[in-house]
Chain A
Amino acid sequence: AFFWLVSLLLSSLVWFIAVKASDPRDEPLQKGLLIFGVMFSVLLQETFRFLYYKLLRKAIEGLVALSEDGCSPISIQQMAYVAGVGFGLMSGAFSMINLLADALGPGTVGIHGDSQLYFLTSAFMTMVLVFLHTFWGILFFHGCEHRRWWEITAVVVMHLAVSGSTFCNPLYVGSLVPSYLLMAAAATWAYLLSGGSAQNLRRFLLCKS
């Protein structure tokens, strides 16, 4: 979570400097700067995920050295999951806290023509991002472990796609639907990489022991 926070801080610093240095009245320029800011932030978040992976690798070596039976008490897959959840929670908190604070008042969004469903769609978007960060954590670490660069690139591309789709708002169908589809795909992939299979899933759902 802390790593995600640092990446957000650095990317927002870059965007802030860019905005201050540019002409505030130029609308297309401001929008362009925002898109640039978002993309830069995505790349920075993934970079920090990679840095965190590196840190955890070093940590595992230390843990193994300290342990009695030469096995690390926590596996890299568990670390991957936890890292993903941490990223997701922090990103979710940052997305929602502002909204929740404003939602306490008597009014709602919309006096300048925004959609009434703003709170609901923001909540769903945040949920999908939290899940996605978790699955991306697993995929990313797996890719780094097994030197499969195409897994890492896939994660980055998916992240860019999801963040980019939010520019379709307030046409919420343009951002929520693709994000949920991507989440389903990432979920399946991560499940398969973590040792699941269709067979296991069927046994679980039919409540077999």
Chain B
Amino acid sequence: ASISGDTGVIHVVEKEEDLNWVLTDGPHPPYMILLDGNLFNRRVMLQLKGTSRVSGLAVAVAKPNPAQGFSPGLKCPNEGFGVYSKDYGPQFAHCNTTVWNPLGSGLSYEDFDFPIFLLEDANETQVIKQCYQDHNVPRDGSGPEYPLCAMQLFSHMHAVTSTVTCMRRSSLQSTFSINPEVVCDPLLDYNVWSTLQPINSSGKVEPDKKVIIVATRIDSHSFFWNIAPGAESAVSSFVTHLAAAEALHKVSDVHLLRRNVMFTFFQGETFDYIGSSRMVYDMEKDKFPLRLNNIHSFVELNQVALRNDSVLWMHTDPVSRMNQSVEAQVRNLLDILSNSSAGANVTLQEAGYSQPLPPSSFQRFLRAQHIPGVVLTDHRTAFQNRYYQSMYDTPENIRMQYPEGLSPEETLEYVTDTAKSLAEVATVVARALYQLAGGANDTSAIQADPKTVTRMLYGFLIKMNNSWFQSIIKPDLKGILGDVPQHYVAVSSPVNTTYLVQYVLANLTGAVVNLTKEECMNPDKTPSSEKELYEYAWVQGSLDPNSTSRAPYCVRSTVHLSKALSPAFELRQWGSTEYSTWTESRWKEIRARIFLVASKELEIITLVVGIAILVFSLLATYFVNAKADILFSSPRDSGAVAY
């Protein structure tokens, strides 16, 4: 996009034939296209990319979601950064065996040099269409007459070419310039992790203390910046994970369990596993309390909301299972999971030896060490999610339905079928974790609460600014509760999603302690606080009924944040093929406006008339001045000049 905006004559494209006007027939290029959402696919976009007659694009979001599915992500997500390569399971590399996202068009990874905006508000789209109808409609095959309705889009991106180029330029600026003009920023946020039994977050855990890691991702992506509802791809999995954590913490003998459980929420997984690659790196370099040797097994939850006939698939890595000891541990893991599903409305089935692992954070851990692990999903081969990493991965995609006429508070508390289904999965996971951790008691009492699940789904998918979320966050963070939740990793951290996952996890797994505000906010001064083991947070509390004041309290939990910045940026290897190197460009202004444009002829006429009058007036003044004595005889006025 150009720094002074891109202007073009508006053309509304609602069917394929309208494209011909833009590409070949129209007499007033360049055009600014208003595209119907159903035509926003790879074929049309590549046609627009190849021509110079298009100066910009505004896409009107398709309501309802396109029936044929839409995914601008890759067919093989995070290819090349997982565990399968030519050295490890080459038959599985590059999705040779299973194409996980067959609907993927790869549109998000194409380079377009014109601005592309998304119009979510139907009223705005109508204004543009009305202007087009009034001025731009071709009459009888020939072109419309000037003045024409035009649109100007400003979205100049400062970074160009690649991460290597923009990071090199930014680092040169930061080193040598007094007023550095940084052009791009690496994608950066925080992972959220918490342990069942508290561990010293600044110390090291002994090698014989084993931990079971439960992992989910908490971010998503779409073609457009900061639009990432991620209902099936992210929210379904981490909400289930949170519910399982809550269920497990309610068990009475957690402190007696032989092994610990770490609930990990990775941020940035959509962009080549930023969070998990960083955690593995930290574990290898001893910067994390745990080491890879401490990991007993790994359970990951991927997309779990669209189960067919209540089946939940267990994926394992066939290559590492060729080792006997790993195979035995994986077998044990699978059996425990299957046993835990008894009594719940979940059928666990194995995906089998012929299948590789789907794209998951577990693959990064496998790259470092052969850990027994399983990835739980609702799909066996291709994703059930037909809108993977797109703006259409909305609550409707995971079949969340609310009855009409409920107030926001009632909607918050209403238990949907989706919530019940996810609670079942969470129950199974919690029971399995209990047994994996060495628990011997009966697990039928371990149940995930559908009421919590539905509140989390409402908060993370429909409306962040609800009463429950307001009551569990710190008072100075009130502003982060925007309206429509988006789960993009972004460059300023932590994002709203990370904060909320942190506080929800603290609320669900932590304990209320009787400390005052000063003691809670300064735990090092309080003698019995055990500051290394716990984190303390002073949260707002809920609104007293019929008043505007809240009853804040102190929450003690084991929830910590760990930095999720790709190791490539720590090592300054900006062209790394081993770690994620995603960056986001900076920009100054993003805006759009519509107006009329006049024909070139009118502009030229105005200019020429002006110049002609100027020249004429100069000549006239010269002549009048030269012949002034002829034109004006001496004045015959009387008595005017008074003395």
Contact = CB atoms under 8 A, between A and B. Distances in A.
Interface of A: 60-61, 64, 70-72, 75-77, 105-111, 116, 119-120, 123, 127, 145-146, 194-197, 200-201, 203-204, 208-209
Interface of B: 5, 7, 131, 146-147, 149-150, 152, 594-598, 602, 606, 609-610, 613, 627, 630-637, 640-643
Contacts of B634: 195
A203 B152 contact: no
A120 B640 contact: no
18 contacts: A71-B641, A77-B637, A105-B595, A106-B150, A106-B595, A108-B596, A109-B596, A110-B596, A111-B131, A116-B147, A116-B602, A123-B606, A127-B613, A146-B640, A195-B634, A200-B632, A201-B631, A204-B627
A72 B641 contact: yes
A110 B131 CA distance: 11
Given A76-B641, A106-B152, A108-B596, 4 more contacts: A71-B641, A106-B7, A111-B595, A204-B627
A184 to B, nearest CB: 15
A107 B150 contact: yes
Contacts of A70: 643
Contacts of B643: 64, 70
B573 to A, nearest CB: 44
A120 B606 contact: yes
Give 10 nearest A-B pairs by CB, closest first: A107-B595, A108-B598, A195-B632, A110-B596, A106-B7, A145-B640, A195-B633, A195-B635, A111-B596, A204-B630
Contact of A196 (B149, B597, B633): B633
A111 B149 contact: yes
Contacts of B147: 108, 110, 116
Contacts of B613: 127
A200 B596 contact: no
Contacts of A71: 641
A76 B595 contact: no
Contacts of B146: 116
Contacts of A119: 606
A61 B635 contact: no
Given A107-B150, A111-B149, A146-B640, A200 B631 contact: yes
A194 B632 contact: yes
Nearest to B627: A204
A108 B149 CA distance: 10
Nearest to A209: B630
Contacts of A116: 146-147, 596, 598, 602
A107 B597 contact: yes
A146 B177 CA distance: 72
B146 to A, nearest CB: 8
Nearest to A116: B147
A200 B637 contact: no
Nearest to A145: B640
B595 A200 contact: no
Contacts of B149: 111
Contacts of A203: 630
User: Which of B146, B594, B635 has its CB near the most chain A CB atoms (within 10 A)?
Assistant: B635
Nearest to A208: B630
Contacts of A196: 631-633
A69 B420 CA distance: 110
Nearest to B623: A204
B30 to A, nearest CB: 12
Contacts of A72: 641
Given A64-B643, A76-B640, A106-B152, A200 B598 contact: no
A75 B152 contact: no
A62 to B, nearest CB: 12
